Structures are given as structure tokens and as C-alpha cells.
Amino acid sequence: MPRHHGDAKHTEDMFSWRAGTKKDSQIPIIAEVEAPATREASAYGRLAATARTLYDGAMKLIRSADLSFLPAGHEDPKSPGVWKKVLLQKADVQAGRVQMVNWARLPVGSAFAAHYHEDMQEVFVVMQGTAELTVGAQTVVLGRGDAVLIDAREVHVMRNTGEQDVEYLAIGITSGQGGKTVVVS
């Protein structure tokens, strides 16, 4: 579970983390971050009411529309030059190395083949369009700004269900065991 915001100068004092279960769902909240009511963090309090990352055991779904922009860690919080939304942190991904960073396009009405990766987690960040993603037995609809982390060995397929091409970033994090992609028929 994350213990800090992710930037070296932001410690546990800046945010409180807790785990639990979302009241209207069986999906556990793996990290819920709330800005404290301190004068030093008042900018965070105004900007970041509460951000949630949901986890069902096979994938983590992040709705960026539910996240607020925060000043980047290297910025003056009173007058930042750049803002960020934290989609994932180091604690969210497996130990390893980045194997790929792809800008992908899924044409209208198409789907990629159902498959899994032996030792690679995959992160998708949707930049345009609407897609239906099935991971194991769970299906979610993704739109612009949504992100998902899919664990290794989880069968997944994405279908373009919208009226425009889906464009998304696909980032693979491998544990370095030389695993391969396995297509499932």
C-alpha cells in the first residue's frame, strides 16, 4: 500500500492513506488519499478532495475525471508552473523494468485478440474514444482520461465500442523473466 504521495518532498504528513471497501461495491479501495486540513497543504485541500483507485484483484481502474490536478513535486505549491494527476505510483506496479511504451490505435468496431502476458503488467491510458475492456470476468467501459493496470497472466481484450478510433498509451512493465505474450482462442 502506498505510504507517501510519490514525490520526495511530500511525506505521509501531506496525505493520509487508508484501505477499505467502497460502500456501494464489493471492490476494495486500495488507496484513498485525502489532503489534510493544514495551512501548508490548503492548496492540496482545495484541489484534491478525494482520489480513489479501485482494485478487483485482476486490474486496477483509475478514472482521471475523479482525480484533481495537484502541483508537481518540483513546483512551488502556491504558484505552480505545472500540474499533475497521479494515476499510478511505484507501489502500484510490480518490480521490474519498462519493456514497452506504445501509442496504440484501435479502429472503430475492432478489437485486439484476447491474450495475456506471462510476466508483464500492462498499463493502458485512454487518450481518445470509448472502449470496452474485459479482464478475466470483469468488463469496464473506458473513456478519455481513464487508465487501467492489468496484472501479468490476466487474459484481456479491448473492443472499440465508440464512433471514433480509440487512441491509448500501452506501457508494459516486465519482471524480467523473458515472458511472452500468449494469445487465447
Report the distance separating Cα 129 and Cα 98, nearest Å.
Answer: 25
User: What cell was used for 93?
Assistant: 506496479
Q: Which of 104, 157, 103 is nearest to 134 (CA)?
A: 157
Residue recorded with cell 475492432: 110
32 versus 137: the higher-pLDDT residue is: 137
Within a 10 A sphere around the Cβ of 86, how many other Cβ atoms?
A: 22
Q: Which of 40, 124, 37 is nearest to 87 (CA)?
A: 124
Beta bridge pairs of residue 150: 59, 122
In the chain, domain spans? 16-90, 93-183
Report the distance separating Cα 72 and Cα 64, nearest Å.
Answer: 16
Q: What is the CATH number of domain 93-183?
A: 2.60.120.10
- The reported pTM is 0.66
5-25 confidence digits (pLDDT tens): 333 333 233 333 333 333 333
89 versus 14: the higher-pLDDT residue is: 89
Q: How far is residue 53 CA from its own chain's centroid?
A: 7
